[in-house]
Structure 1
């Protein structure tokens, strides 16, 4: 039985001032009239019913997510008591999923998805999910989706594939190892070899398989899961469950599922895919999605007066922005906040957010 876990606890600080703690990137409508999390849910609805879709989030975002996704059962919106990174979040939600469906007597497959990624080829994506779920079910493997790189990107981690022949899209391969974000020279070598894929952060596994991996690779997490399992088995949900397990959550080491399990597990497979994927990690990613004007400017939700200005990104709903003699800037207005940044500094916008929060205290 296939279920979905959508990770929606991120703050999206690189999209400030559009993104805020209560309305982060996944709740923004960047590419259509729908929010990114709504797009994510709609993408999988043809193969996964709403009662088998779970959202992992935090208390700050839970209310807006419930409003945005009224069709998702309230008990499927899982609020983490504390932020302890993705190993704790995925394990905790997998416990809840397992408890919910254990009496059906079936293996439970879970697809872990980000709530704020762009995927243009929805049908192909769903076909790959079903193929990966079959592999995870039949062979007790963890399956990840690896994106075929089209450039030497330094902002992504890479997956090295253990194959002697050239990689074929949509086939299943054994993962040799995960690689951290490389420098430019190393990224160029990865792409040239044809044996490396971008790590999309999407995973498929059965609940049985993931907890066996936790037992071997993260025994301290397993001890906490066993304590939490007892509370879940009492039928506690929502805030009542949160209150009862908060002290247990404090015991978790703050570590990602990538570092805790994926980099060390001995039975991980990867499916190379080309599905129009983009993790939309910062404003500069919009240049890869939207068509620019004749001077390279990308204009969203506003009117712009341009004179000798090029390669800028401007988002300012209901305002007229004038650009004179500037290039390679990001200009974003939301409410009373205005961001003006060079494109080269897009990854550092979170530093501005930190200072902004200090001023607002």
Structure 2
């Protein structure tokens, strides 16, 4: 019998270990790391269809419109999108979703899944979820354990009971959670055959989880309950109240609940999984060729072995010659080169770039907004050139600037431009000038994307030089609102 499952997609991480493709402004779950869809889209698709309700998503303010846009591209409707005022780790996020779901159905089954993992065999994973559902309905907290394929030091482990079966197709008795081990301990655990990787995927009823928080983490339950109770709706999003949320402990669901609860079971899974926790994992999951190389369409390997060469920009051809065990990733504004054995140190590079004030540490070249996206092409002392892409039917806010004027040249589609009290249509190869201080708006009234080149001139060109008067996306003031 198929049991109805309510997916919860956790979508708030920064993904610094996959820099430069993943950055704080556009983390890895939204990027196309493997395949034609983003990791978030793959997760949403994997947990949709028969037996699955529309997903609930927990994310941050800056990503709320990206979530809707990527779901819409896969024709998936969300049940709810909860906006965290700030990241507080997984325990508060999961609890908030459970409280919202319990308002309608306390016995509803929740499947908690990170949105940035790779699970190639979606059918096998859905079957494993269904196999664990009856135990979860009975009140157990189910965690999913991955059959280890190597002595990995980057994952936490789950120790099974002596009489448990590590490759069973039903939930097994869990003894304890084990922290990330050193190399010797990881090798011992792999050899024992009695340990599974901790995937960070969980299944339980909403009421069972809430009861667990009441018993083991009341300091988390109180402020999260208040944040949900005082939440408000904003354009279909649910904004958790920032006041109570500020008092929520920063703690993972493993530490808050799973390592303390007694009603635990583990569902073994062996059909393939990766958290893509580094470029070495991407190399492995992408499928190296007979020489062990993985290359993108704009990369070439000559006499290389066991190497990842990846260029994200059609104007940047990446060539490796005589390389072994090397990772090289190029974007339009940054290049990473590392030995594959040092892949986990990429976050050190991000920290070093932050220290020196490099915008590449956190800001992606393409800046995504609810109406589309833009990228800076040239930046000078008192000027900047951007390419701006506006989705069909979308509109920027009615705004003005204190420090810059703008010149817009439409190169694709048609723009409706309002300057003060005058509105006009600007077609391909036509242009318009926006004087400093003028109240203006840009819209795409057409059925196809509109693209224009913007030339800014002035004493200050920062994105926070925006005064919004009207905005269909209710973003308020600030660079993104």
> What is the TM-score when the length of structure 1 is the normalising length?
0.91
8 Å CA contact retained: 1:231, 1:241: no
CA 1:346–1:244 in structure 2 vs 1: closer, same or farther (change >3 Å)? closer
How far off its partner does 1:305 sit? 4.8
Q: 1:54 aligns with which of 49, 53, 56?
A: 56
Residues 90-128 of structure 1: per-residue CA shift (max 9 Å, x gap): 1112122222x23xxx61110000111111221111111
8 Å CA contact retained: 1:302, 1:320: yes
8 Å CA contact retained: 1:298, 1:314: yes
8 Å CA contact retained: 1:3, 1:110: yes
**For structure 2, which runs of at least 5 residues remain unmatched after alignment?**
360-481
How many correspondences in the alignment? 351
RMSD of aligned C-alpha atoms? 2.1
Residue 360 of structure 1 corresponds to 358
Residues 239-279 of structure 1: per-residue CA shift (max 9 Å, x gap): 89876710101111111111111111101001111121111
**CA distance in structure 2 between the partners assigned to 1:84 and 1:96 by the alignment:** 17
Residue 6 of structure 1 corresponds to 9
Residue 96 of structure 1 corresponds to 100
Q: 1:349 aligns with which of 343, 346, 350?
A: 346
Question: How do residues 36-55 of structure 1 correspond to structure 2 at under 5 angstroms?
Answer: 36-49=39-52, 52-55=54-57
Residue 108 of structure 2 corresponds to 108
Choose between structure 1 and 2 for higher RCO, CA contacts under 8 A separated by at least 6 residues.
1
Residue 318 of structure 2 corresponds to 321
CA 1:75–1:247 in structure 2 vs 1: closer, same or farther (change >3 Å)? farther
Residue 270 of structure 1 corresponds to 266
**CA distance in structure 2 between the partners assigned to 1:272 and 1:244 by the alignment:** 34
8 Å CA contact retained: 2:295, 2:301: no
Residues 40-80 of structure 1: per-residue CA shift (max 9 Å, x gap): 11111123555x31111111222222211124546712111
**CA distance in structure 2 between the partners assigned to 1:83 and 1:219 by the alignment:** 19
**CA distance in structure 1 between the partners assigned to 2:288 and 2:331 by the alignment:** 21
8 Å CA contact retained: 1:79, 1:238: no
Residues 121-156 of structure 1: per-residue CA shift (max 9 Å, x gap): 21111111112222111x201011111112111111
**CA distance in structure 2 between the partners assigned to 1:140 and 1:190 by the alignment:** 29
8 Å CA contact retained: 2:166, 2:196: no
Residue 135 of structure 2 corresponds to 135
1:81 is aligned to 2:79: no
**CA distance in structure 1 between the partners assigned to 2:130 and 2:55 by the alignment:** 15
**CA distance in structure 1 between the partners assigned to 2:166 and 2:235 by the alignment:** 47
CA 1:218–1:313 in structure 2 vs 1: closer, same or farther (change >3 Å)? same
Residue 278 of structure 1 aligns to a residue whose secondary structure is coil
**CA distance in structure 2 between the partners assigned to 1:337 and 1:178 by the alignment:** 38
1:301 is aligned to 2:301: no
Using the TM superposition, name which of 292-301 and 123-132 deviates more. 292-301
Residue 63 of structure 1 corresponds to 65
Residue 442 of structure 2 corresponds to none
Residue 69 of structure 1 aligns to a residue whose secondary structure is helix
Higher strand fraction (1 or 2): 2
Question: How do residues 222-233 of structure 1 correspond to structure 2 at under 5 angstroms?
Answer: 222-232=221-231
Question: How do residues 211-250 of structure 1 correspond to structure 2 at under 5 angstroms?
Answer: 211-232=210-231, 236-238=232-234, 245-250=241-246
Residues 261-306 of structure 1: per-residue CA shift (max 9 Å, x gap): 1111101001111121111111101232233344322112323152
**CA distance in structure 2 between the partners assigned to 1:128 and 1:311 by the alignment:** 33
8 Å CA contact retained: 1:166, 1:194: no
8 Å CA contact retained: 1:280, 1:286: yes
Higher helix fraction (1 or 2): 1
**For structure 1, which runs of at least 5 residues remain unmatched after alignment?**
none
How far off its partner does 1:327 sit? 2.3
Residues 180-218 of structure 1: per-residue CA shift (max 9 Å, x gap): 011111112112212111111100011111011101110
